[in-house]
Amino acid sequence: MIYSMCSYLLGTCMTAALVGKVYGVSLANEHSGNLGARNAGRTLGKMAFVWTAAGDVLKGVIIVMAAHVLGFPDYIAALGLICGLLGHLYPFWLRFHGGKGVATLLGGLVVLEPLLLIGVLVMIGIGYLLTRSLTLGFVISVLALIAGILIFYPAYSVLLLALAAVLLKHRTNIQERWR
């Protein structure tokens, strides 16, 4: 329970808010208003994108590594990752308006199961080549990840909740790309 709460709280540490503060800009008031790497990059440039993405990836890495250091089984690490993602997506201190969770999810997968991460990255690439859209490439990769988890890693099936939450946060981007 304490691990889950700490994971959520770490997730609420919005790298984009910190990067925006360094640049003297509130990213919540710029472009999409999203506190993620994509909005940071669009608003402040490539380095802001890189710093924000790196910080969000690091959150996922720390959450899963903490579970391993504490001796928790992988399914608890996966639950912690979900809590961290929920904190990133819905930070209480920002009236539940955060980022979209992709970088945090990828960071958690780096430690939890690198083969799943490699599969996601390959599928994003294939999806992008097919659709010329990173958003749709990501959707394709999530669908492949769902299949991969169900077939090869059923112990991580709890991550399906996190994937649903990330897809839900991307719904407007997905709708725009389908048009």
SS3 sequence of the chain: CHHHHHHHHHHCCCHHHHHHHHHCCCHHHCCCCCCCHHHHHHHHCHHHHHHHHHHHHHHHHHHHHHHHHCCCCHHHHHHHHHHHHHHHHCCHHHCCCCCCCHHHHHHHHHHHCHHHHHHHHHHHHHHHHHHCCHHHHHHHHHHHHHHHHHHHCHHHCCHHHHHHHHHHHCHHHHHHHHC
Q: What's the pLDDT score for residue 1?
A: 84
In this model, does residue 92 exceed pLDDT 90?
yes
Identify the pLDDT of residue 174.
64
CB contact burial 99-109 (16+ within 10 A = b; e otherwise): bbbbbbbbbbb
pLDDT for 72 equals: 96
- Provide the pLDDT for residue 165: 81
The more confidently predicted of residues 169 and 50 is 50
pLDDT for residue 32:
81
Counting residues of the chain whose pLDDT is more than 90, the rounded percentage is 46
Dmax over CA atoms of the chain, in Å, equals 47
Kindly report the backbone phi and psi dihedral angles of residue 14, in degrees, each rounded to the nearest multiple of 5, phi listed first: -85, 105
Residue 147 confidence class, pLDDT cut points 50, 70, 90: confident
Over residues 102-123, the pLDDT tens digits come to: 899 889 989 998 888 888 888 8
> What is the pLDDT at residue 136?
79
Q: What percent of the chain has pLDDT over 70?
A: 96
Global pTM reads 0.87
State the average pLDDT over residues 138-150.
84
Determine the average pLDDT of the residues in 80-93: 94
Q: What does the pLDDT average to over 5-19?
A: 96
* Tens-digit pLDDT profile for residues 43-60: 999 999 999 999 999 999
d(CA 28, CA 18): 11
Distance CA 84, CA 28 (A): 20
